[in-house]
Amino acid sequence: MSDIPAVQEDSAADRVSGKGRFVFADKKQFVFVFVFFLAYLIIGILSYKDYGISWDEQSHRQIGMVSAKYAAAILLPGFQTPELAALPPLADYSAKHYGVIFDLPMYALDLLFDYSGAMPAAYYMRHLCAFLLFYLSVFFFFLIVKNRFQSWPLGLAACLFLILSPRIFADSFYGKDSVFLSFFIICIYFFIRYLNRRNIRNALLFGLATALLVDQRITGIFIPCLAVFLTGTDIIQEERPWQNLSKKLLPVIVYLVSFFLLMVLFWPYLWADPVGNLLDAFTIMKKYAVFSYDIFYWGEFIKSTEVPWHYIPAWMAITTPLIYLFFFFLGLAVIIRRVIQQGITLYSNDGEKQDILFMLLFFAPLAAVIILNSALYDGWRHMYFIYAPFLLIAMSGFARLLDLMKETVSGRGRGAVAGIFLAAVMISGIITTSYSMIRHHPFQNVYFNILAGNNPGVNFELDYWGLSFRQGLEYIVKNDKRPTIKLSANVIPPVINNAILLKRSDLNRLRLTEINHADYFLTNYRWHPQPYNLHNEVFTISVNDSKIMSVFRLR
């Protein structure tokens, strides 16, 4: 039996759009998909407590609290908690322009379970929820690829590539950027449904998905622009574009209206002045210029507001497994060749239209940050969301490579040898990536490929989130039984954050002080890539010969 037909559906349009029911052709296919996602779920549940608290997590918990205070004053007059009472009003809050579609429900769960910001459980729950959201998005990613290529094995392969992306895997447990990536993947799925079958139902679902995306990060506002552009392109390519034009435009109007209303509904900051506050948020965030500080790039410190045009492409190139880069460039060539052949029509079917969408979703944001000279820092994490269309383009290359391998393996002589060689290279690339992720767990966030050199730490930031401070602190409290332990560090916020995960009795023994009075000095080498002139290094974490955490005992 062929593995290609993944589902039993009603029409070609339904097969591509995903409108048909998700019914497997046989039990074998169902078992493969079920076991894959069950295994991934088990891995996530076993792993979510392994990661430290990232630099911004306490800040984003507070962002959710400030919005909760504002919403409660309107919806639940008289409701107050000690944590909320100590916070400023939303109108006076410096981070009011951040979306809260994830942070606000997280704080609601804190209230439900009676968690405070000083309790490890609050952050473990946050990590679990971030993973579950990403887990859901991986399933939507499966549907996107399965429907595009009419192949459930290719759908699972795409999910495997997404999961076996070291930095994305780690970030999916704690990072706000992976939350945006998750909503972006879900939005792509409903974008495709809308494009392939423009009706009111799909317009409403697409509007909801876009609202959730923008309410996580204003960057998602480019999606409605693409929706209008591609809707117009579809209409223009019809034989009689002006016939029943109002009927043809109704779905996109429903989409835009539902998107705007739902966006306002889920973002308390917009309630008082939807248009004005939306423009304010966009103006502030379009350059990512909330903060400006030095970043370490190719061995030099540069301002985050003055990054060169190649900053994002370079970071993607050195932190993405090489085999995926190869698939991407091959897929890019396949799609561009097809577009050139199509000429002015661009595409001839829904599948090719999806490829155009993937290209726009990848290159439009990338071009925007380069043209606008946006402030960027901490690698390419602000642009993690374009990794989804990156892999979708890569899947065209992967699919084409599989076709070539089938042709060569089925042949004789050199052709068969070439096919086997290609298969060996692909498998070895995936195994190497998997081994690296397992070996360096839970520090997949500092993964670099060989393009970054033998010691990436001499040229690039490593543990910029400060996650490794958790292990440094755990080492100290485990091996030093003094009733009071004085600590100093190169950066303080991640020390405070990760101390929350310690036992209360151990936390009470710790004191922060200046290095001249400290018993220990901890460093993740941020803004200080060179070695320290300190002795008695009692604890070290290294990833690929680059130190990401050192603990020095001073007395």
For 188, other C-beta atoms within 10 Å of its C-beta total 25
3-state SS, one letter per residue, for 75-127: HCCCCCCHHHHCCCCHHHCCCCCCCCCCHHHHHHHHHHHCCCCCCHHHHHHHH
DSSP 8-state symbol, 304: G
DSSP 8-state symbol, 513: -
pLDDT at 2: 36
Among 357, 143, 343, which Cα is nearest to 231's? 357
3-state SS, one letter per residue, for 424-473: HHHHHHHHHHHHHHHHCCCCHHHCCCHHHCCCHHHCECCCCCCCCHHHHH
Residues near 240 by beta carbon (within 8 Å), at least 6 away in sequence: none
pLDDT at 77: 92
pLDDT at 285: 78
Contact status, residue 448 vs residue 548, Cβ threshold 8 Å: no
Distances (CA, A) of 534 to 145, 461, 482, 555: 52, 21, 22, 12
Q: Where are the domains of the chain?
A: 404-456, 468-553
pLDDT at 24: 65
Give the residue ranges of DSSP H helices in 150-244.
152-163, 166-171, 176-196, 200-214, 222-236
3-state SS, one letter per residue, for 363-410: HHHHHHHHHCCCCCCCCCHHHHHHHHHHHHHHHHHHHHHHHHHHHHHC
Region of 376 please: left (phi>0), alpha (psi -120 to 50) or beta. beta
For 119-143, the pLDDT digits (tens) are 999 999 999 999 999 999 999 999 9
Contact status, residue 339 vs residue 233, Cβ threshold 8 Å: no
For 311-339, the pLDDT digits (tens) are 999 999 999 999 999 999 999 999 999 98
Residues near 424 by beta carbon (within 8 Å), at least 6 away in sequence: none
pLDDT at 240: 83
pTM of the model: 0.93
pLDDT at 23: 53
The C-alpha atoms of residue 62 and residue 53 are separated, in whole angstroms, by 14
Tell me the percentage of the chain whose pLDDT exceeds 70: 92
- Which range has highest mean pLDDT (169-178, 237-246, 410-419)? 169-178
Tell me the percentage of the chain whose pLDDT exceeds 90: 79
For 256-307, the pLDDT digits (tens) are 999 999 999 999 999 999 999 999 999 887 755 556 789 999 999 999 989 9
The C-alpha atoms of residue 38 and residue 487 are separated, in whole angstroms, by 43
pLDDT at 404: 84
Residues near 465 by beta carbon (within 8 Å), at least 6 away in sequence: 52, 54, 55, 56, 174, 175, 378, 445, 494
Strands 510-512 and 537-543: unpaired
Lowest mean pLDDT among 144-148, 230-234, 344-348, 394-398: 344-348
For 448-476, the pLDDT digits (tens) are 999 999 999 999 999 999 999 999 999 99
DSSP string across 221-274: GHHHHHHHHHHHHHHHTSSSTTTTHHHHHHHHHHHHHHHHHHHHHT-GGGTS-H
Q: How confident is the model at residue 372 (pLDDT cuts 50, 70, 90)?
A: confident
pLDDT at 241: 79
Three-state SS for 295?
A: strand
pLDDT at 344: 67
For 41-87, the pLDDT digits (tens) are 999 999 999 999 999 999 999 999 999 999 999 999 989 888 899 99
pLDDT at 3: 38
Mean pLDDT over 25-38 rounds to: 91
Q: What is the mean pLDDT of the chain?
A: 91
pLDDT exceeds cutoff 50 at 546: yes
Q: How confident is the model at residue 31 (pLDDT cuts 50, 70, 90)?
A: very high
pLDDT exceeds cutoff 50 at 14: no
Strands 294-297 and 300-303: antiparallel
pLDDT exceeds cutoff 80 at 7: no
For 477, other C-beta atoms within 10 Å of its C-beta total 18
Give residue 3's identity as a one-letter amino acid code: D
Contact status, residue 62 vs residue 74, Cβ threshold 8 Å: no
pLDDT exceeds cutoff 50 at 440: yes
